[in-house]
């Protein structure tokens, strides 16, 4: 397939591009720094900063992952605007591309996150669960709405509500690993908040699965079938590293230090991949202990 990708240079995008390239797909990349993309991916690819530059190329599929980092900086009003605009404007540019093409792509796989559901306490969360209105939900809803406009053009659209992506070279784990290796791992707040997680390899396999299955559309929870609480996550990572993690950081301290962004650490959703499992997707890493063991041992 000819596949156009946004967010190709990120923590998920780079190994995704390598996996797609290895399967013989041709990649077209949209990046804010197109001149750096081939080097970042370690292979020659066509890259542009405006998707419209690809209007005369044959494109079978689009994967849309671009967006400013949600955990990077405090959620001031201007940061919130950047988080929304970096996703919605990128997706709008893809919509304009699809409108301009004589043959639009067959499929779009577009990003979203577990934040779509907001804080959900202990209940199980499937794609049917109503969201809790808060900033994370607003961000994901706007991103999904922008993707739905492409769906309205007749493009099969699958939206992935991504859990915490786990691998050692980025995302949540990269800054945690050195801390845990020093025996400084800590439960956050009450530790009862759920952390839906996914091994990066499984996320890449989910994206490939959704590209390949012509009948799959709508939202898909892209988290492993066994989400865990923060307390279990902390214990499991410490155990994989053969270190203790006896500490606890009180919720009020995280709130004082991080403001509203502390909700990323102190609240969560027990998100289950109900629609992926119903579609027959099989997770390579369904259990957190197995995922951490593979990550820590570099398998
Ligand atoms: N990693 C996770 O745990 C996780 C969990 C849930 C959801 N997600 C979502 O999944 C997507 C991919 O995740 P990731 O971890 O691979 O993200 P990432 O490493 O932060 O990469 C995202 C990509 O988005 C582009 N980007 C960054 N800032 C941007 C901006 N201000 N405007 C437009 N584009 C911008 C960058 O591409 P260029 O520099 O090439 O333009 C970057 O490579 C993200 O949208 C993320 O929010 C990730």
Query: Where would I find the beta strands (DSSP E) of 103-250?
Result: 107-113, 124-125, 156-162, 164-166, 186-188, 194-195, 197-199, 218-222, 228-229, 247-249
CA of 68 to the centre of ligand 1 (A): 6
**Alpha carbon nearest to ligand 1 atom 11, residue:** 65
The pLDDT tens digits of the residues spanning 231-290 come to 999 999 999 999 999 999 999 999 999 999 999 999 999 999 999 999 999 999 999 999
Asked if 160 and 109 count as a contact pair (C-beta separation under 8 A), the reply is: yes
Q: Which residues line ligand 1 (CB under 6 A)?
A: 7, 9-13, 31-33, 65-70, 82, 86, 90, 111, 113, 162, 164-165, 171-172
CA of 9 to the centre of ligand 1 (A): 8
Residue ranges and CATH numbers for the domains of the chain are: 2-296 (3.40.50.720)
The two three-digit tokens of residue 134, written as one number:
């808060």
Q: Is the pLDDT of residue 119 over 90?
A: yes
Number of Cβ within 10 Å of residue 284's Cβ equals 12
Asked if 182 and 176 count as a contact pair (C-beta separation under 8 A), the reply is: no
For ligand 1, pick from 66, 112, 118 the residue to mutate: most ligand atoms within 8 Å of CB.
Answer: 66
Q: Is the pLDDT of residue 72 over 90?
A: no
CA of 65 to the centre of ligand 1 (A): 6
Where would I find the H helices in 127-216? 135-151, 173-181, 200-212
Token pair 């699958």 in the structure block, residue = 158
For residue 111, the ligand 1 atom closest to its alpha carbon is 10
Instruction: Identify which of 162, 187, 169, 170 has the alpha carbon closest to the alpha carbon of residue 266.
Output: 187
Token pair 């909700």 in the structure block, residue = 263
Q: Is the pLDDT of residue 54 over 90?
A: yes
Label residue 5 by pLDDT band (50, 70, 90): very high
Residue 299 is predicted with a pLDDT of 81
For ligand 1, pick from 6, 10, 64 the residue to mutate: most ligand atoms within 8 Å of CB.
Answer: 10
The pLDDT tens digits of the residues spanning 13-23 come to 999 999 999 99
Token pair 């301290």 in the structure block, residue = 253
For ligand 1, pick from 15, 34, 67, 168 the residue to mutate: most ligand atoms within 8 Å of CB.
Answer: 67
CA pair distance 260, 257, nearest whole angstrom: 10
Give the chain's mean pLDDT.
97
Instruction: Identify which of 226, 245, 244 has the alpha carbon closest to the alpha carbon of residue 288.
Output: 226
CA pair distance 150, 152, nearest whole angstrom: 5
Asked if 187 and 266 count as a contact pair (C-beta separation under 8 A), the reply is: no
Asked if 194 and 254 count as a contact pair (C-beta separation under 8 A), the reply is: no
Q: What is the mean pLDDT of residues 74-102?
A: 97
CA pair distance 161, 165, nearest whole angstrom: 11
**Alpha carbon nearest to ligand 1 atom 46, residue:** 67
**What proportion of the chain, given as a percentage, has pLDDT over 90?**
99
The pLDDT tens digits of the residues spanning 205-242 come to 999 999 999 999 999 999 999 999 999 999 999 999 99
Contacts of 33 (CB under 8 A, 6+ apart): 9, 49
Q: Is the pLDDT of residue 134 over 90?
A: yes
């Amino acid at each position: 397939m000819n596949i156009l990708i946004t967010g190709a240079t990120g923590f998920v995008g780079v190994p995704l591009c390598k996996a797609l390239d290895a399967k013989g797909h041709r990649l077209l990349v949209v990046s804010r720094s197109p001149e750096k993309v081939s080097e970042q991916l370690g292979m020659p690819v066509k890259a542009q900063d405006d998707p419209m530059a690809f209007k005369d190329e044959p494109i079978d599929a689009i994967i849309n992952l671009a967006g400013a980092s949600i955990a990077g900086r405090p959620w001031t009003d201007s940061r919130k605007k950047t988080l929304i605009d970096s996703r919605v404007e990128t997706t709008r540019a893809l919509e304009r591309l699809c409108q301009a093409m004589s043959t639009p792509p067959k499929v779009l796989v577009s990003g979203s996150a577990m934040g779509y559901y907001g804080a959900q306490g202990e209940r199980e969360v499937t794609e049917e669960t109503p969201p809790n209105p808060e900033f994370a939900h607003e961000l994901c809803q706007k991103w999904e709405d922008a993707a739905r406009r492409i769906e309205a053009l007749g493009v099969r659209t699958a939206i992935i509500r991504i859990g915490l992506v786990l691998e050692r070279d980025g995302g949540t784990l990269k800054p945690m690993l050195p801390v845990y290796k020093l025996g400084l791992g800590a439960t956050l707040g009450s530790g009862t908040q759920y952390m839906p997680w996914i091994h990066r390899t499984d996320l890449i396999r989910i994206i490939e699965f959704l590209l390949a299955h012509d009948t799959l559309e709508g939202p898909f929870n892209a988290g492993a079938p066994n989400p865990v609480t923060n307390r279990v996550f902390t214990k499991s990572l410490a155990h994989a590293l053969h270190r203790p993690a006896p500490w606890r950081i009180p919720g009020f301290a995280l709130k004082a230090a991080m403001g509203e962004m502390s909700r990323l650490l102190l609240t969560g959703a027990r998100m289950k991949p109900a629609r992926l499992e119903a579609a027959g997707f099989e997770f390579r890493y369904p259990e957190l202990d197995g995922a951490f063991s593979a990550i820590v041992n570099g398998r």
